[in-house]
Structure 1
């Protein structure tokens, strides 16, 4: 007998997508047993755990004809879609057009559909002043800021943001589908195909420092160094996605998703130095802030040498993460802390220790041969 729950995870090779697929294939997954289709634009990478999916499919979601040809035959089979895809373009307008097109193409290819279709949307929470989505508004007059702890019913900030556009696309189909929206913080996980993978970025920076016998410096400001932040383990994020997909109470709701604890970057910096084998360098901002973006702009060849010498998964430095985005984040003037009260009130109690999360995922990145 065919499984009643059939998931399509779009963007399955990213750090969120992998964990959503693995959570669905767990013997204890809510709503299971699940049949999982994992979708990506490119072929399965060597490090991808093939056991995470029953079927791996490829298509270009920007191209409707390709998307439709691949997904239309599955339209009476798929019961849930988990959106973990992202296409980073030239600017925010490009991001809005491209990512909205991708999501719209997938929805159109799967409709009409027999029975209710539940879309579970993965996105960064809007309360981060669009740091990772719209850098050029930062620091400008009138760039409104919500007061932490951030909660789900805060108004959208007045800047273009493609995650808002994705939310609007889904809501436009509200008469046909159910959905939940998940808003993580700084995400920690393991993949070489995630644009905003902070741990891979930090590891590359640390390895370049070691290779060149240079100090591993903090590139944020004193406020971020001393004040609280939170983060999201991709396993917690995946667990919340599955919970949201099968619990009717969560239908058409948005939920923050963090580990449930807080830390200072001063403390986390010590953990990173220990894990990467570099000397801890206290923040010294007497002569201004250290500019990581400027430091890394000509380090592509150095990283290529490290990849070659260590036999790592081949990826260019600019493919690893967005240095400018994370540097902006580390120079905030507010505490990056979100409330998990709504999730708990609705029945989700997932959590993780952020220090242990960082150690765990650094270990996984090494196992996957993505970092030394």
Structure 2
């Protein structure tokens, strides 16, 4: 993986406090980072959280990308400096049409400000999306029941599905700047990383659920179906996603391409569940279809329990409803398909990164404990 860039590199990570945003900041600041040395601006909607390591970025910017004036006020001063945008931001609404509106507004505002200046230095935009590209708006109550996804493993050359999808809109916004600005799209699976500010954070949801089970002495029951229990799934390590985005941003051959980015291995949820009980030190209970329960409803009842855990363990002051995504995890564990992606194209283009999913989970759980987001054992 040889960098093709020898010029000064200045990154703007939009969504820097999310799982991949944090990994991008840390990866870009490594002495061995492709295309480096990098100057790194990290941007997010809210002030920097206490767990965020300041040493990983040069400047932190808090602004509301939905508001053009606020975006212009904060980004115009660096519009003649930023060479690469890493877009890992997301806002989630109830319907996909609303998702399209808010996320396209954010991306358009940022790119408009950075390109309006006659002295603009922007060269590349790395856009993170996900496997919803191949499945459709799976969380949308209007469309979810009628979706016909692509065959698995998911492959990048698949045609777009005939459903509204904000990923498609974001791709169109980015590619419209070509050839003046190059782009890359990075389609993740279920992301594994460490943050209290990522909306779709399956690992943190599982960690909070396990912490509550351990605190109350209740079984760690599997809130999914037999199909997902016995069929393949994959995940994406946030550090791997960061590495692929940096590689594509500075490697000529990889520009103007879309890539899947998963760890490269697969797992069965029945094996993963056994592993998670060891990681979280909770009582294992195998799948029992006769003992099905309302996971989302049960989690909604546990806010006060989580508050007790936070106070007792001296954790980051978080609200369970803000750091977990029970409905999204419930949807994942009720898929009627094998959630797996092909990594062939990525390898053909020269990216050979991979991660061991089980080791990745253990590492990020340890990191969440160090950050005082979840309790230590």
Do they superpose with TM above 0.5? yes
Structure 1 counterpart of 2:131, from 125, 130, 143: 125
How big is each residue's C-alpha offset from its partner over 1:79-130, in whole Å with a ceiling of 9 and x where there is no partner? 0000011111232222111110000000111113445520000111334523
Cα RMSD after superposing both structures: 1.6
Corresponding residue number in structure 1 for 2:364: 361
Total equivalences in the alignment? 368
1:248 aligns with 2:267: no
Corresponding residue number in structure 1 for 2:172: 168
1:78 aligns with 2:96: no
Corresponding residue number in structure 1 for 2:93: 89
Change in Cα spacing, 1:198 to 1:222, as seen in structure 2 (3 Å) is: same
TM-score by length of 2: 0.94
Corresponding residue number in structure 1 for 2:222: 218
Unmatched 5+ stretches in structure 1: none
1:157 aligns with 2:161: yes
TM-score by length of 1: 0.95
Corresponding residue number in structure 1 for 2:68: 64
How big is each residue's C-alpha offset from its partner over 1:138-163, in whole Å with a ceiling of 9 and x where there is no partner? 333xx212111110011222222212
Corresponding residue number in structure 1 for 2:307: 304
Change in Cα spacing, 1:89 to 1:126, as seen in structure 2 (3 Å) is: closer
Q: Which runs of 4+ in 1 moved over 3 A?
A: 112-116, 130-133
1:286 Cα deviation (Å)?
Answer: 3.1
Q: How does 1:175-324 map to 2 (within 5 A)?
A: 175-286=179-290, 289-324=292-327
Change in Cα spacing, 1:224 to 1:127, as seen in structure 2 (3 Å) is: farther
Change in Cα spacing, 1:132 to 1:350, as seen in structure 2 (3 Å) is: farther
Change in Cα spacing, 1:16 to 1:132, as seen in structure 2 (3 Å) is: farther
**8 Å CA contact retained: 1:185, 1:258:** yes
Write the distance in 2 (CA, Å) between the matches of 1:291 and 1:198. Answer: 17
Write the distance in 2 (CA, Å) between the matches of 1:4 and 1:295. Answer: 51
Write the distance in 1 (CA, Å) between the matches of 2:229 and 2:133. Answer: 20
Which SS does the other structure have where 1:174 is aligned? Answer: coil
How big is each residue's C-alpha offset from its partner over 1:13-43, in whole Å with a ceiling of 9 and x where there is no partner? 0011010111111111110000000111111
Unmatched 5+ stretches in structure 2: 1-5
Corresponding residue number in structure 2 for 1:338: 341
